[in-house]
Structure 1
Amino acid sequence: MYVPPDWPEEVRPPGSPDWETSAVAWLLDAVPPDYRSYGVLRRHPVALSRMAAHHVGAAIEAARAGYRGAAVELKDHLPPHAVEAVLETYRQEGPRLVRLAAAIDLVDRALRGEPFVPRL
C-alpha cells in the first residue's frame, strides 16, 4: 500500500490491520501526556489528529517566537556561548516540529479517508 514519503514510520499504512491503533499511539506521543486520559481522543482518532495538529502548530509558533527573542531575553542571564547554544537548539527543534506537523497532516488526511496515490 502506498504512503507518501513523509508518512511516519511508526504508523502502519492506511487500510492495513490495526493501522488506526498505530496512528492513535503515534499521535498520543505528539501531544502532552495528559491527553492520554481523555477517552474521546482514543475513540475518535480524527479528534486526536486535529488536537495534535493544533498543539504542534502552536509549538512551531512558540519556537519561532523563542528564537526571535532568545538573544535579547537571555543576554543578561547567560554567557554568549550558552545563548548561541539555545539558538542552535531552536534551529534544530524548529525543523523537527515542522516535519512532525507535516506527518500529522498526512495521518489526519488518512483518518478522514483521503486515499494516497503515487505521483509520477
Structure 2
Amino acid sequence: MPQTATITRSPDWPLQVKAPGTHDWERTATRWLRDLLPARYGGYLTLNRHPAILARHVQLQLQHEIRAVRVALQTSRAELPMLGVAESVIENAIRMYAVELEQLSRLARGVRLVTDALQVNAAAQRRR
C-alpha cells in the first residue's frame, strides 16, 4: 500500500485536508495548517508560500501549546486556590485542560501526517 494511502486512512488525518495526490490537496493542506496558527501569522508571505516552513512552524506552535496546557493542568490544584478560585471551578478547569490536551495532541498527530505527505509530494516533484 502506498505511503499516502496509509496516511490518509489514519483516524488522525484531518477531514479538512483532501487526500494527497487528489486535485488541490496541497492547497487544502496549507489552508488547514495556516488556520492552526494565530491570525497574526497570516500576513507572512514566507509561511504562505512555503508549505514546509508553515508545517514546521505549526509543529513548533503546537508543541508550545501542549507544554503550556500541561503546566496549567499540573499546577491548577496548587496555584488556583491562592487566586481565590473555588474548588468546583478548579475541577472544571482541570477537565477543560485535559480535554484541550487531548485535542492538541490529536492536532499534532494530524500535522505530522500532513507534513509527511507534503514532504513526499515535494520529493516527488523534485524527481520530475
What TM-score, normalized by structure 2, do the two folds share?
Answer: 0.85
Aligned length: 114
Q: Deviation per CA, 1:3-31, whole angstroms, max 9, x where unpaired?
A: 13111010011111111110111001111
Give the aligned partner of residue 89 of structure 1: 96
Residue 72 of structure 1, CA deviation: 1.1
User: Pick from 112, 119, 123: which aligns with 1:112?
Assistant: 119
**Structure 1 ranges of 4+ moved more than 2 A:** none
What's the CA shift for 1:63? 0.7
For 1:7, the equivalent position in structure 2 comes to 13
How far 1:107 moved relative to its partner? Answer: 0.4
State whether structure 2 residue 53 is matched by structure 1 residue 47. Answer: yes
Separation in 2, partners of 1:19, 1:41: 17
Bigger drift between 96-105 and 38-47 goes to 38-47
Structure number with higher helix proportion: 2
In the alignment, does 2:30 pair up with 1:24? yes
1:100 shift after superposition: 0.3
Q: With CA pairs under 8 Å and 6+ residues apart, which has the higher RCO, 1 or 2?
A: 1
Structure 2 unaligned segments of length 5 or more: list them: 122-128
5+ residue gaps, structure 1:
115-120
Aligned residues: CA RMSD:
1.2
Distance 2:61 2:97 in 1: 17
Match of 1:13, SS state, is: coil
1:31 corresponds to which letter in structure 2?
L
TM-aligned CA deviation for residue 51 of structure 1:
0.2
TM-score normalised by the chain length of structure 1: 0.90
Distance 2:97 2:75 in 1: 11
